[in-house]
Structure 1
Amino acid sequence: MDRLQSMRIFSKVVEMGGFARAAAALDMSNAVVTRYVADLESHLGTRLLNRTTRKLSLTETGHVYLERVRQILADIEDADAIAAISAKKPSGTLRIYSVPGFGVSQLAPLLALFAKKFPDVILDIKISSHPVDMVEEGIDVGFFLDLQKIDSSMVARQLATPDVMLCATPEYLRVNGTPETLDDISRHRCLNYAFDFMRHNWMVHDWDTEEFSYAGKSKQVLKQIPVNSCVVSNNTAILRECALADMGLVLLSSYSLDNDIRSGRLIRLFPEHSFGSVSIFMAYPSRRLLSAKVRSFINFIVEQFPHAGTHPSAQ
């Protein structure tokens, strides 16, 4: 038995003053309406209506039950209305996760713009280097450095692929000297991200001067450079602060260092070489039935990254 439908039909029968009129109002047959009310009474184990050939009246229990039923139906209508409004107007709390480098340098300014555009949305932001379970932690939208941290059930959009840059402060270079060759990096103090494959060596694309391609140009090869790590952290913000404190060479995504490079606080080293790149992904649980706040935020972010696209392996 559909108890909610039975409640609606019972309430309508009382409102219309009879089964036939209720059936017409509900576009149902008289037999179906009668059966719903009878099933409800059977489920409750008591009579709700007194029926005669001329008159329909509520029993004492029916009066009490009808009052509660009407309140329940009104609450349901209110809940539906709230949900419908939420689906149309961006409002409520939007929970966001981001890795530190992107979150601090790129996302923070965008959140300020989003908040001005959608003032009814409350932003709840988690910045962390540790992976999160978006569903378990109730995260609406997450920003990650790579697909390895994104569950395969998520929808993932690649926003950009920034370069990895090697930098140091002018003061550090004044005191310790500027490395002139890639091999010189090994004699410097290095600020290192806590990836196992980076702890002892950094990889860089170099031009092999001994081998030549058929076109007469030197061949680009992957060179492994031993490094002396004086600081190791899984937090890009810490590494950036250490670099700004003149502690050593730092190798991070351009998103973490761009502002410092433009201001002259950091100097980029070996810009002619590639130290690799990272991919920035935006992820969210589902395309279907997104609330207005989530859909508006996703659309807003995609507008800021015109080359964003859905990644085929994370749909």
Structure 2
Amino acid sequence: MDRLTSMAVYVKAVDLGSFAAAADALGISPQMVSKHIVFLEDRVGATLLHRTTRRQNITDIGRAFYERCRLILSEAEAAEGLASEMHRHPKGLLKVNAPKTFGTLALAPFVTRFLEKYPDVQVEVTLEDRFVDPLEEGFDVTIRVGGTEGAGLASVPLACYELVVCAAPAYLDRHGAPQTPQDLTRHECLIFGQRAGHTPCRWLFTEDGREREVQVSGRLYSNDWMVLMRAAVEGHGVALGSDIILREELRAGRLVRLLADYRTPPRPMHALYPMRGKPSAKIMRFVEGLAEAFPPRPDGYPSARQASGMT
């Protein structure tokens, strides 16, 4: 028998003064009430209630046990209520993992708006570009660019990562704008990654359904997109970066999109969360907010809204 259920039956029998009254209140038979009491007496090795056909008397041990049972049942009810409340209303710590560039430039304003909307939630954001196992490392939500492999994970599609070519007006005034991807070979390009000896850097474009590689060169390499974006804004070269990341700079005119007729192959982005049981409200509200702020387009290309405008 379930110990908590038996405790609840015992408390009801003591409160109402008879097995019959407890049975009526709980919707079970008097014989079942007796079985629950016997089960508890066997567990504690003592008599809790002296019973006759006409009355019952609680023993000293039974009274002490009764008081403890009431406390335990009250705590159990409070625990269930808290869990239920957290499933209905966002509350508690939410652990989020995301790639560094997306997390710094696009996710950060979304998170601050989320915190404003849900004051009972705390968010811990970890940014790293390595492959993360959310279940192994304890993340509630993981934003992943690329594949969604991983058993036990639910996946919600977000706006794809499409890389766009851009430069500052000051750079274009000095060097002109490339008209085709091949023109980039004559421009100073800002290259994401680390310089690998004499290995050339290639940017990939799609034209008329076919992929074309363009070998580019430049004097600035960095594995931190913030370095490259700052250099691009200050007019030091042509950059290739995510449409989602560059949105504010493009909107403000600090950068100008180039080669708009040429696209780069989009990379899918998803929000992943554990499928174990029913997800809590904090997870679902966060994932739903991401899908609203960074919605995918049917053709697979980005259509992300301004993250700071989350509703």
Using structure 1 for the length normalisation, give the TM-score.
Answer: 0.78
Q: Structure 2 matches for 1:1-315, cutoff 5 A?
A: 1-148=1-148, 150-171=149-170, 182-186=181-185, 188-193=188-193, 200-206=201-207, 221-228=210-217, 230-233=220-223, 235-244=224-233, 248-286=237-275, 289-305=278-294
Q: Which residue of 1 aligns with 2:304?
A: none
How many residues of Structure 1 are paired with residues of Structure 2 in the alignment?
Answer: 295
CA distance in 2, matches of 1:135, 1:254: 30
Contact 2:9/2:36, CA 8 A, preserved across alignment: yes
Tell me if the contact between 1:162 and 1:277 (Cα under 8 Å) persists in the aligned partners.
yes
Contact 2:204 2:214 in 1 (8 A): yes
1:171-225 Cα offsets, whole Å, 9 max, x none, are 556677765653453463431247x9x973222234xxxxxxxxxxxx5532222
Query: Per the alignment, do residues 136 and 70 of structure 1 end up closer, same or farther by CA in structure 2, a change over 3 Å counting?
Result: same
More deviation, 270-279/70-79: 270-279
For 1:231, give the aligned amino acid: Y
**Secondary structure, aligned partner of 1:135:** helix
Quote the offset at 1:75 in angstroms. 0.3
**Shift in Å, 1:247:** 5.2
How far has the Cα of 1:72 moved from its partner? 0.6
Contact 1:97-1:125 at 8 Å conserved across structures: yes
Instruction: Point out where structure 1 has 5 or more consecutive residues left out of the alignment.
Output: 207-218
**Contact 2:158–2:291 (Cα < 8 Å) also in 1:** yes
Shift of 1:38: 0.9
Offset at residue 74 of structure 1 (A) = 0.6
Tell me, yes or no, if the aligned pair for 2:156 and 2:287 is still in contact at 8 Å. no
What CA distance in whole angstroms lies between the structure 1 residues aligned with 2:151 and 2:295? Answer: 24
1:77 Cα shift?
A: 0.8
Q: Which digits, 9 at most, give the CA deviation of each residue in 1:242-286, with x for residues without a partner?
A: 544555432211111122223333333333322322223222223
User: 1:48–1:62: 8 Å Cα contact kept in structure 2?
Assistant: yes
2: distance between equivalents of 1:126 and 1:56?
61
Q: For the Cα contact (< 8 Å) 1:240–1:256, is it kept in 2?
A: no
Provide the rounded CA distance (Å) in 2 between the counterparts of 1:163 and 1:53: 81
Q: Which moved more, 1:14-23 or 1:278-287?
A: 278-287
How far the C-alpha of 1:121 sits from its partner, in A, is 2.6
1:216 match: none
Flag the 1:191–1:290 CA change in 2: closer, same or farther, 3 A.
same
Q: One-letter code of the match for 2:14?
A: V
- Partner SS state of residue 31, structure 2: helix
Q: Tell me the CA shift for residue 166 of structure 1.
A: 2.0
Q: Which runs of 5+ in 2 are unaligned?
A: 301-311
Counterpart amino acid of residue 221 in structure 2: V
Distance in 1 separating the partners of 2:295 and 2:245: 20
- Which segment is superposed worse, 295-304 or 2-11? 295-304
Residue 137 of structure 2 aligns to a residue whose secondary structure is coil
Q: Per the alignment, in what secondary structure is the counterpart of residue 203 of structure 1?
A: strand
Displacement of 1:76 in angstroms is 0.5
Distance 1:303 1:226, change over 3 A: closer
Q: CA separation in 2, counterparts of 1:285 and 1:106? A: 23
Deviation at 1:126, TM superposition (A): 2.6
1:73 to partner: Cα distance: 0.5
CA distance in 2, matches of 1:83, 1:120: 14
Whether the aligned pair in 1 keeps the contact of 2:163 and 2:241 (CA below 8 Å) is yes
Q: 1:199 to 1:240 in 2, by over 3 A?
A: farther
What amino acid sits opposite 1:277 in the alignment? P
- Supply the distance in 1 between the matched residues of 2:296 and 2:164 (Cα, whole angstroms): 22
Residue 232 of structure 1: how far off its partner (Å): 4.2
CA-CA distance at 1:34 after TM superposition: 0.8
